Structure 1
Amino acid sequence: MTTALSPVDPDSYRALMAAHPGGVAVVTTHDGLGSPYGFACTAWCGVSLDPPLLLVCASNGGSTLPVLAERGWFAVNLLHGAGRRAAEAFAHRDAGRFSAVPWERSPATGLPLLPEDAHTVAECRVHRLNPAGDHTVVIGEIVRTHTPRTTETQPPLLYGLRRYATWPTP
């Protein structure tokens, strides 16, 4: 016998998602005039080795998703432990996000990158957009990866249990 079940309430959902830590990334792109856009997320993961695909989940109500969809390109800046300032700056809907942290343009794609706060960066071409509730799953084909020289030994930044932490060093 099956009982009719309703979806959990938003507070229960947030508690579930906060219970397990994830790596923190800042997803960046730019519009046709070169103005940078971006948001922080922990909803990202690898999808496929051949072709090399990853996914990020972008809010339908944010300013970045329409630009990302139009341009067809984005970068995933995987933050290191000292990149908390970038995580906090990009976690809020503030037009001054890019003035809060140093950034530069990729020589290959022109995408905005966060070299002082990221331990690894993936530059991606949009492969597919899949609407899913109040977010869109953005699948990107990775066309370039690199590790900023100044951050290659930094452990990743994690977010879970409603706080930031870093991977322990051996």
Structure 2
Amino acid sequence: MTESSISMPDVCSPNEFRSLMSEFPSGVAIVTTLDDERRPWGMTCSALCSLTPNPPTLLVCLRAESPTLDAILRRGTFAVNLLHGGAQSVAELFSSRMSVPERFESVDWSAGPSGPHLTRHAHAIADCRVARTADGDSHLVLFGRVGGVTQRRGHAPLLYGRRRYHTWPQ
């Protein structure tokens, strides 16, 4: 068989793609920021990965029409709150259609240098500055330069895969 005889479809269906990606479990994070009036914004995000340790940079992908993304781009900073296993309800809250102010009224948070810290619900928090962005069609890729890290030991990470939440065994 030669390369030219291999037929590959142009693109799979959105349902096939979602099914594929559900087989790749990931940690669960809430990306947060403050707007110009110091109001908190945030959303659940599982599209997060490390890019390089030098300089420390991570990637997050957010929906292009997200008001949280708009606030991040205006401010230039964001926090990545990595949720622990006891924070499933918070992950669900921040992925819901509930208005953003109501979300923050339902959780404890404190103002961090780059955005709200969900200290009771996160086992690790990264404070980031937007280094650059890249177009991802329906999403925007943010390159976040990590300026500071806060960690709380003794908490197992919250994971999401196969369309269910799980906790990493300790």
Cα RMSD, aligned residues only:
1.3
Runs of 4+ aligned residues of structure 1 deviating over 3 Å after TM superposition are none
TM-score normalised by L of structure 2: 0.92
The aligned residue for residue 142 of structure 1 is 146
The aligned residue for residue 51 of structure 2 is 47
Counterparts of residues 51-90 of structure 1 (less than 5 Å)? 51-90=55-94
Amino acid at match of 1:15: S
The aligned residue for residue 94 of structure 1 is 98
| Structure 2 spans left out of the alignment, 5+ residues | none
Amino acid at match of 1:98: F
> 1:10 deviation in Å?
1.1
Distance across 1 between alignment mates of 2:21 and 2:74: 29
> 1:101 deviation in Å?
1.5
1:123 to 127, 134, 151: 127
Contact 2:131 2:143 in 1 (8 A): yes
Amino acid at match of 2:105: S
TM-score normalised by L of structure 1: 0.92
Amino acid at match of 2:155: Q
The aligned residue for residue 19 of structure 2 is 15
Contact 2:114 2:128 in 1 (8 A): no
Distance across 2 between alignment mates of 1:165 and 1:3: 38
Identity of aligned residues (%): 40
Contact 1:85 1:101 in 2 (8 A): no
SS at match of 2:82: strand
Amino acid at match of 1:165: H
